[in-house]
Amino acid sequence: MEANTRGEHARAIFNAGLAAAEPGLCVHRALSIADGVLQCGTRHLPLDSISRLRVIGAGKATPAMALAAEEILGDRIEIGAINTKYGHALTLQHIETFECGHPVPDAAGVAGAQRQLELLEGLDSDALVLCLFSGGGSALLPAPADGLSLAEKQETTRLLLACGATIDEINALRKHLSSVKGGLLARAATPARVLALMLSDVIGDPLDTIASGPTSPDPTTFSYCLELVDRYDLRRQLPTTVRQRLENGSNGLLAETPKTGDPCFAATENIVIGNSSLAIDAATQKARALGYEVLVLTSRLQGEAREAAVTLTAIAQEIASANRPVTRPACVITGGETTVTLRGDGKGGRNQELALSAALHLDGWPAITLLSGGTDGTDGPTDAAGAIVDGHTLTSARKQGLEARDFLARNDSYNFFHALNDLVITGPTGTNVMDLQILLIS
């Protein structure tokens, strides 16, 4: 099988995964009205028992989720407000959209979060708040805790992203610097009923981590956050007010985020309506339809992107040389979310960095192709979803005078693949269920 054909197949398999996780489809599968009753999960709410229905939320996929909610609920929605990334907005009839900064929060995000808090004021126990959360929701719903400024939260986010902290660790800090995350939005909505639909971009789908858990009990503490800060040697680099808040909270001088059993969760239900497994299952079906023997390796890929690439390419090389652990033509699929520790001043994202590292290890292996892409269509601060490489990538690079190791050393994967025309460009996909890696071996 030619490399061009494998490349076409890899893109088709990736696109199948994207289509299965389309947020509108996920909402329509989860939310319905039958015989005057709103049904979702264990909730069966007679429509005439709902005095007011308001919609709030945040995330890259939230506009598409909101559009589906409007299709289902129509004029029953009194009003709503959502936050999403710049360029991701859709035309909605009842729900206001705030486009905001991501991954570093900005003033537009604060304005949108404040608007959502305003919509929760004065609701009674017959009201229903429909919350729509998806990947990116944590950065897109910034509401600094009392005494903190947006600039201080921005600087803290930059430090965490640069040090290679995991998304779970970053979100633990965000929850303790916020007035909405870590269950605080559910508390603000009390006594109204809350129904939260979530499109998960977090390994294992923990409710408290998706969008930093605005409507979920928070198991993390101020003391844990301080431990993380010290683990990455950031205490002296943090803004003074952030450090003081964490230290005061750890010493019991500030109230903790609400935990399991808190009364604010009595009328709250959180439901995951889409995740990485959904995309992986669809990608698997497409790969089999194209004639590949499929091995789903994991939906929990994490760690340094460049190191994950070493493991993935080693498995592909074993298949290419020994026809094990699956036989050729083979497709190995992984999902998850890796991290990048910034060492240089280049441009890229975790998927492009994984692909660039893989290219170094695939040099001279003509039967292997790897595609690594973010399902949201934006890998890091770039317009690419990821990149695609094979055993000929470095040969092509050398002809253009490009040294892959130099680009990797300065985290400049975007410019490397842009020069080779090997970026995967999807544009904003409207969904976000972490990343997919597709390895094809012929």
Omega before residue 239 within 30° of 0, cis:
no
Question: Quick one: 325 and 263 in the same domain?
Answer: no
| pTM, rounded to two decimals | 0.86
Over its length of 442 residues, how does the chain's per-residue pLDDT go in tens digits? Answer: 788 999 999 999 999 999 999 999 999 999 999 999 999 988 899 999 999 999 999 999 999 999 999 999 999 999 999 999 999 999 999 999 999 998 888 999 999 999 999 999 999 999 999 999 998 899 899 999 999 999 998 899 889 888 888 878 888 998 999 999 999 999 999 999 999 999 999 889 999 989 999 999 999 999 999 999 999 999 999 999 999 999 999 999 999 999 999 999 999 999 999 999 999 999 999 999 999 999 999 999 999 999 999 999 999 999 999 999 999 999 999 999 999 999 999 999 999 999 999 999 999 999 999 999 999 999 999 999 999 999 999 999 999 999 999 999 999 999 999 999 999 999 988 888 999 999 999 9
* End-to-end Cα separation, the chain, in angstroms: 6
Inside any domain, residue 430: yes
Q: How confident is the model over 144-160, as pLDDT tens digits?
A: 999 999 999 889 988 98
User: So what's the pLDDT on residue 154?
Assistant: 85
Task: Identify the sign of the CA torsion 10, 11, 15, 16.
Answer: negative
Question: Quick one: 27 and 10 in the same domain?
Answer: no
Question: Quick one: 262 and 314 in the same domain?
Answer: no
Bridge-partner residues for 339, per DSSP?
Answer: 304
Omega before residue 329 within 30° of 0, cis:
yes
Inside any domain, residue 247: no
Question: Quick one: 123 and 182 in the same domain?
Answer: yes
Question: Quick one: 366 and 422 in the same domain?
Answer: yes
Q: How large is the angle between the packed helices 350-362 and 305-322, nearest 10 degrees?
A: 40
Q: How confident is the model over 65-103, as pLDDT tens digits?
A: 999 999 999 999 999 999 999 999 999 999 999 999 988
Bridge-partner residues for 332, per DSSP?
Answer: 295, 439
Question: Quick one: 210 and 346 in the same domain?
Answer: no
Question: Quick one: 9 and 62 in the same domain?
Answer: no
Question: Quick one: 313 and 302 in the same domain?
Answer: yes
- Measured CA to CA, the distance from residue 422 to residue 347 in angstroms comes to 15
Question: Quick one: 45 and 64 in the same domain?
Answer: yes
Of 326, 189, 327, 200, the C-alpha closest to 263 is 189
Question: Residue 337's domain spans which residues?
Answer: 3-14+277-441
Domain boundary pick from 274, 304, 320: 274
Inside any domain, residue 153: no
Of 198, 193, 323, the C-alpha closest to 268 is 193
The one-character DSSP state at 364 is T
Inside any domain, residue 30: yes
- Measured CA to CA, the distance from residue 222 to residue 31 in angstroms comes to 36
Beta strand residue intervals within 14-140, DSSP E: 32-34, 37-40, 43-46, 53-58, 79-85, 95-100, 128-133
Domain boundary pick from 232, 248, 274: 274
Domain boundary pick from 274, 304, 319: 274
Inside any domain, residue 171: no
CATH of the domain at 301: 3.40.1480.10
Question: Quick one: 267 and 290 in the same domain?
Answer: no
User: So what's the pLDDT on residue 113?
Assistant: 97
Residue with tokens 């909730």: 43
Bridge-partner residues for 195, per DSSP?
Answer: 130, 269
Question: Quick one: 335 and 384 in the same domain?
Answer: yes
Half-sphere exposure in the Cβ direction for 93 (13 Å, CA)? 12
- Measured CA to CA, the distance from residue 395 to residue 364 in angstroms comes to 9
Inside any domain, residue 152: no
CB 27 within 8 A of CB 197: yes
Per the structure, the count of domains in the chain is 2
Bridge-partner residues for 128, per DSSP?
Answer: 53, 193
| CB under 8 A, 24+ apart: contacts of 414-420 | 414/346, 414/347, 414/348, 414/349, 414/352, 414/380, 414/382, 414/384, 415/346, 415/347, 415/348, 416/352, 416/356, 417/352, 417/355, 417/356, 417/384, 417/387, 420/393, 420/396
Q: Report the amino acid identity of residue 16.
A: A
CB 97 within 8 A of CB 111: no
CATH of the domain at 121: 3.40.50.10180
Inside any domain, residue 122: yes
- Residue 361 makes CB contacts below 8 A (sequence gap 6+) with 309, 310, 313, 314, 317
Of 424, 408, 411, 405, the C-alpha closest to 347 is 411
Inside any domain, residue 240: no
Question: Quick one: 329 and 381 in the same domain?
Answer: yes
